[in-house]
Amino acid sequence: MSVKGMLTLLVFGAVAVAAEHVAVVRLTPNNVEKPNVTGNLELRQDSSDSPVKINGTIWGLRDGLHGFHVHQAGDLSNGCVSALGHFNPDKHDHGAPGDAVRHVGDLGNIESTNGVATVEILDNVISLSGRNSIVGRSIVVHEGEDDLGKGNHSLSLKTGNAGDRAACGVIGVLSPLDSWMPNSGTSFLWSSYMLILSASGMVIKF
């Protein structure tokens, strides 16, 4: 088989084995005196350039809107406080999910009705791999509504003035268990490409 043919097969093979990334979050209450706020979330991403889908249910929140963010750390040793601030690698102001300028972790609000919040979020900024990966970080649900950076409060452009932290959980790996390295598909393809070139005696210059 020609090198061109082998590369064609390699490209299609790499696409074929690309696996959907799935992560999970178990939300636990921040305040032991308010142990009723709990939840389960599932996060899915088809590929590194696909949006992340977040689905799940949260119980025990008061009715209304509640800020919902990805925070920097996966450390819950001191409750939700040790999750630190919003995940914001670009040092932007706080904003709405659809804003051009926002924290990576800005996911807006969820709404609780009769004590139950159904979470259905599709976001193109967060990722489950690469630079904006949120795996190993935390999701925090707040007591109050996120003003999306549009309020006049001193915290609007920092936290959305969403109030105290009601519940939180670490974003953990569900599947696949062995291929969560950034750009793993690209690395595999490039390594195999170089192997074929080496075996064929071809030289590539840059």
Question: What CATH code is carried by the domain that includes residue 44?
Answer: 2.60.40.200
Annotated active-site residue in 21, 66, 102, 106: 106
> Are both 29 and 2 inside the same structural domain?
no
Q: Are residues 54 and 156 in the same domain?
A: yes
Strand 116-123 and strand 52-59: the pairing is antiparallel
pLDDT at 29: 96
In this structure, the answer to whether residues 119 and 195 fall within a common structural domain is no
pLDDT tens string 15-61: 434 579 999 999 999 986 667 899 999 999 999 899 999 999 999 99
The active-site residue out of 21, 103, 137, 147 is: 103
From its phi and psi, is residue 9 left (phi > 0), alpha (psi between -120 and 50) or beta?
alpha
CA pair distance 3, 200, nearest whole angstrom: 7
* Domain that includes residue 190, residue range: 1-19+181-206
Domain tally for the chain?
A: 2
Catalytic residue among 21, 66, 137, 142: 142
pLDDT value of residue 122: 99
Query: Is 94 a catalytic site residue?
Result: yes
Between 8 and 182, the more confident residue is 182
**Residues 60 and 125 occupy one common structural domain:** yes
Annotated active-site residue 71? The verdict is yes
Average pLDDT over residues 112-119: 98
pLDDT at 201 over 90: no
pLDDT of residue 97: 98
Catalytic residue list contains 21: no
CA 142 to chain centre: 17
By percentage, how much of the chain surpasses pLDDT 90?
A: 71
For residues 36 and 125, state if they share a domain.
Answer: yes
Integer angstrom CA distances of residue 61 from 3, 143, 147:
60, 8, 18
Known active-site residue 165: yes
The verdict on whether 106 is a catalytic residue reads: yes
Segment (H or E) for 29: strand 21-29
Q: Is 118 helix (H, G, I), strand (E, B) or coil?
A: strand
Peptide bond into 176 cis (omega under 30): yes
